[in-house]
Amino acid sequence: MAEIVIKNLRKEFGAFTAVQSSSFTIRDGEFFMLLGPSGCGKTTTLRMIAGLELPTSGEIWLDGEEVSQKPASQRDIAFVFQMFALYPHMNVRRNISYPLVSQGMKRAQVKAKVAEVARILGIESILDKPVSGLSGGDRQRVALGRAIVRDPKAFMMDEPLGALDTEFREHMAEELRALHDRMKATTVYVTHDQLEAMQMGDKIVVMNHGVIEQFGTPQEIYDKPATLFVAEFIGSPPMNFLRFQGAVTAGQNQITLGEATHAVPVQHDAAHGPLVFGVRPEHIRLSDTAPYRGRTIAVEYLGTTQIVTLTTPHGDIKARISSSDPAPRPGDAVGLEFLAPTVTLFDQKTGRALR
């Protein structure tokens, strides 16, 4: 097990910079997500930590040792890929024991280790079956077994559930998280799926164009997005943006949109010019008396909640209301209240949240 400290890590491929100077710390035992859209540099970051790619500059500290120039074989990190490559001609037991046998471990010890791993993963009954006939889930478990059997310092996982259909994927995500809670091994996990990152991660790094946009717990990232990019990337539907020209000063606690004033928590920053008022769909309350007005465009019924799409003087927005609340009809004018918890003001020029 290990803490991983990344300092000013950078990767260039010729003239192209895939990862800009990145710094973050992964604590011992953490389930750590690298999240972002395709091409943002998350796989490159993971590969540098594992030793499959050498950084252009920067440091990687693993368990107190600087390893950035060490080959992968000397880092004691297990890599779990999206397409789990099992040895098709071997049975489950031999697939799992292979890393131990190739290390020269004694037979009795190998047997005990494999039995322990099979118990953890709940696959004792298939140990002597050939891998060729296994279901997708069992193949996944065998591949995990092969990764955890040698007690590596840390696990690197690159979209391990990416090839699975939605329902099964959710099940495997829960299983993986439960396995982590039992083993408490430092795990770095790459995904472009924000729900997966929120569901499984202790911490999340959100990347875009090789740059770290934000680093924090799922709740910090959801409730206090640092940038417009993060606010839009996390949440479904994403945060609403109302765009306006205005000015804020440090210590200001409200802004005026149209005729109405709204609470905003800006303690330290100041900005003027194009600003963006961000509010999550579930923090909009429809109220006949609220002075800020919108007009209903559509209502989508989703079972426990419903999504009301509205047009306002500052852009279209979506409100999530309970299904037990009366929904307006298309064309109805409604008043809108914006509730404090996640209201965020952004400077449109820099894309950064004003705090």
Residues at the site binding ligand ATP, with contacts judged by CB under 6 A: 13, 16, 18, 36, 38-44, 192
Give 85 or 108: the residue with its C-beta nearer to ligand ATP. Answer: 85
Rounded (10°) CA dihedral 289, 294, 298, 300: -60
Give 53 or 138: the residue with its C-beta nearer to ligand ATP. Answer: 53
What's the min distance (Å) between Cβ of 16 and ligand ATP?
A: 6
What's the min distance (Å) between Cβ of 257 and ligand ATP?
A: 36
Count the alpha carbons within 13 Å of 14 in the hemisphere toward its beta carbon: 0
Q: How far apart are CA 181 and CA 196, in angstroms?
A: 16
Give 39 or 258: the residue with its C-beta nearer to ligand ATP. Answer: 39
What's the min distance (Å) between Cβ of 207 and ligand ATP?
A: 7
Q: Using DSSP bridges, classify how beta strands 186-191 and 154-158 pair: parallel, antiparallel or unpaired.
A: parallel
Closest-by-Cβ residue to ligand ATP is 43
Give 56 or 91: the residue with its C-beta nearer to ligand ATP. Answer: 56
The answer to whether 346 and 225 have CB atoms below 8 angstroms apart is no
Q: What are phi and psi of 296, to 5 degrees?
A: -70, 130
Task: Reduce the DSSP state of residue 132 to 3 states and report it.
Answer: helix
Give 221 or 276: the residue with its C-beta nearer to ligand ATP. Answer: 221
Give 82 or 322: the residue with its C-beta nearer to ligand ATP. Answer: 82
Alpha helices, H only, the chain: 42-50, 92-102, 107-121, 136-148, 166-183, 194-200, 218-223, 228-233
What's the token pair of residue 128?
């002597």
What's the min distance (Å) between Cβ of 37 and ligand ATP?
A: 7
What's the min distance (Å) between Cβ of 156 and ligand ATP?
A: 12
What's the min distance (Å) between Cβ of 33 and ligand ATP?
A: 12
DSSP state of 227: B
